[in-house]
A and B are shown apart, each in its own frame.
Chain A
Amino acid sequence: MSIFLEKRAQSSRLLSALAPLLAIILALLMGAIIIALSGTNPWEAYREMFVGAFGSGYALSETMVKTIPLILCSLGVGIAFRATLWNIGAEGQLYMGAFAAGGIALAFPQGQGWWLIPLMVLASLVGGALWGLIPGLLKAKLNVNEIITSLLLNYVAILWFQYWIYGPWKDPLGYGFPYTAPFGEGAWLPTLAGTRIHLGLAFAVLAALFLYFLLKSTRVGYEIRIIGENPQAARYAGMNIPGAILLVFAISGGLAGLAGMGEISGVIHRLQPAISPGFGYTAIIIAWLARFNPWLTIAVSFLFGGLLVGGYSLRAFGLSDSLVLILQGLILFLLLGGDILTRYRLRWKGGRA
């Protein structure tokens, strides 16, 4: 008896709609086994996670805080996916955006002008975009695989970021702790009364609108869609493919950079060695789940924001919140597996050929 895959003539539409949902459910089931193995009742753990993430006004607001950078990074990763470019470097681009914006904030500790926040936004967009342009340029000009370059540049970016915090930008009044001085209040993004939800939410929604409009109604958006579907047809139509690749990486990196700005200016208010629990990596999963659709991206980001926040509640059980990472990994894994099952079907077969 053996099991094998048989190609489906038509990919099953029902299955491909259900696949993401199934992936999440299956991942939760597998996670339950892991939780049970560590001696906790999985049902209670999950309930605690759910309550922690969505169970109260405060929980919801915290979930929303995490959702903001997730939306921005996922939109960036998603637009690259649309052009069949794999930007695995959102994490690094987020750090570079934070670096650029943080540099501005630190340069104007007394800054109170209306211009400071816009300047920081601009700096983060440019910082992230420039970092994104490195793999973009290598891809466009030399056809270097962008998956590897963008991934490896994450480590470079984070180390660069930390160098400044441990070194030149360390707060002289900080008792040697690796922090920069806190930003002046002029560099803080306004928040919704009583919560930590900051103006970055508006940026995120605007970004989704922008991408939707870009893909649907602009010439370059159309080019991106054609290049993503069939680069040969794009070449035949005389499209500037290297140019589009550069643009996509710039947008992709810029959005991730903006996410970094939101974190430091809206939440942390200073620079510290770690400012992201892997938003840029989670974004890859979200973009995939949301099928690169800007609106779905917002919804899925909210779910994953909840997963992150809910994960903190696990500490009450003596469980590490890295369980969340395991769950995320399982979801991605099952999602990719599910993708195969929408195109192939499993067959059992005994004996004779």
Chain B
Amino acid sequence: MNEKVRMEGIFKRFPGVIANDGVDLDIREGEIHALLGENGAGKTTLMCVLAGIYSPDAGTIRIDGEKALIRSPRDAIHAGIGMVHQHFMLVAPYSVAENVTLGLNKPRFLLNERKLEAEVGKVAQSFGIQVDPHAKIWQLSVGEQQRVEILKSLYRGAKILILDEPTAVLTPQEVRELFATLRQMAKAGHTLVIISHKLEEVMSLSDRISIMRKGKRIATVNTKDTNPTELARLMVGREMLFELHKEKATPGDEVLSFCNLHALSDKGLPALRDISLSVRSKEIVGIAGVAGNGQRELAEVITGLRSATSGKVLVNGKDVTNNSPRQVIDQGVAHIPEDRKGAGTAPNLCVLDNLMLKCYRVEPFKNGPLLNLGRIREFAAKLVKQFQISTPSLETPVKLLSGGNVQKLILAREIATFSELMIAVHPTRGLDVGATEDVHQMLLEQRSKGAAILLISEDLDELLALSDRIDVIYEGKFMGEVPADADQIETIGLMMAGKKGEIQQPVPAGIRAQA
């Protein structure tokens, strides 16, 4: 295979950190190249350099053997490079076709809209991308929006496509479709770079894998010559356990219970229909389900962010139905929200400001109407250290942290300030394998200390590893409850697809992400 891209000695420094420390990387034509590494290792930065979003302090980039000057996303497009970010950059009220062609210097108003849509549709079809060119962005699911982003790059003639943690927000079904598309693109001669923290995905999809640690590329391996254990060791620099020590459950008193709960989604449609559950102390109850089946609404109703149309929520026997978020927090309820940039943090404010978000109004961090800034600073510094949040300083704006470090910050804050009940929605999304293991360990520790934890996740392995029992949610209803045993996977899979009591039938492939 020909060498398509060669990055040499890429050096990129941000105030207080060296994100890329002389990275060499070569990517071959037509391959799927995976980029692995701990949170903050510099993966996103390296790819942003390739896509012209950051200009490196030193280093060269060669495309097809020739030196390329890439100073802006525009230059990158000219060089045939496109990047799909974790946060999409689409214009919600516009149609798919409009978004795809937006910014191209074509006299759009002269072009017939139908023709434009047909053209975009054709490009989509040739790569097996299923999306309606006529649909408006706001009508699309996250997975569909991602397809639009990919389409946008392809339509601009990208031959090299970079995807930054593309599967973090997808349902297993969508992951399968995405991978099929990517394989098809590779077969058609496109070159793909994919950043991911999920080792099995990387193993199943990629041809070669490069591993980064602390701003350096430390290894590149052929996928078929390696295994997840080796990858993890390369990434983290230590042996991973991949096995959690989980004590037997000894549930105590009931901490959370809700019954006959109903609620509406943002669009005003029924999102929760008559669900009931209780979680006791020293217990982790998992909620499994394909994203968009009411998980988010459930977390919001419990934490007072969304009102229940009927039903009851009790925390420690106290009725908190439709209480304010403040009242629920005061009951000792912590919440790791699904949307870390939307609700979980104020990205422009600094690490310190974001770490004190939940504790600033309680002793010892308050001082009458004042803040006890000394205490808060101590507390924040302790959390940064304990949770290994990599940040140049407490004054660094959170938007400058790497994706995984933002997630760690939220986790640190919530774990540090909760006492009774934790509502954890995708707690390890975007975390590297090491950090994921740490968080799992931490949640189990909290459980043995007496906490009640409601764990909402799409990751069946995570649910099975942590939960004591698992409820499956489908279209806002509970399909049933199973003990958290590995041999329940098929049952859970069926229930996630909305089928009950047909356990004897063969399992449809791909209920889980490909193993």
Contacts and interface: CB of A to CB of B under 8 A. Distances in A.
B357 A226 contact: yes
Nearest to A351: B105
> What are the 4 tightest A-B residue pairs by CB atom distance, in nearest-first order?
A238-B326, A229-B346, A353-B105, A9-B53
B337 A218 contact: no
20 contacts: A4-B105, A9-B53, A9-B54, A217-B370, A222-B353, A225-B349, A225-B353, A226-B346, A226-B349, A229-B347, A229-B348, A230-B347, A233-B342, A236-B344, A238-B304, A238-B327, A238-B330, A240-B326, A349-B105, A353-B104
A283 to B, nearest CB: 24
A237 interface: yes
Interface of B: 48, 52-54, 72-74, 103-106, 303-305, 324-330, 335, 337, 342-349, 353, 356-358, 360-361, 366, 369-371, 373
B349 A218 contact: no
A113 B10 CA distance: 75
Nearest to A239: B326
Nearest to A232: B343
A9 B371 contact: no
B344 A233 contact: yes
A2 interface: yes
Nearest to B325: A238
B353 A218 contact: no
A219 B345 contact: no
A226 B353 contact: yes
Given A236-B335, A353-B106, A230 B346 contact: yes
Interface residues of A, number: 26
A9 B48 contact: yes
B360 A222 contact: yes
Contacts, number: 85
Contacts of B337: 236
Interface in A127-166: none
A235 B353 CA distance: 15
B375 to A, nearest CB: 13
A236 B369 contact: no
Interface in A92-120: none
A238 B329 contact: yes
A6 interface: yes
Interface of A: 2, 4, 6, 9-10, 217-220, 222, 225-226, 229-230, 232-233, 235-240, 347, 349, 352-353
Contacts of B360: 219, 222
B302 to A, nearest CB: 13
B326 A217 contact: no
Contacts of A226: 346, 349, 353, 357
Given A233-B342, A233-B357, A238-B325, 4 more contacts: A217-B370, A236-B305, A238-B304, A353-B105
A350 to B, nearest CB: 10
A154 to B, nearest CB: 31
Given A218-B369, A219-B370, A229-B348, A237 B358 contact: yes
Contacts of A2: 105
Given A233-B345, A236-B305, A238-B329, A6 B74 contact: yes
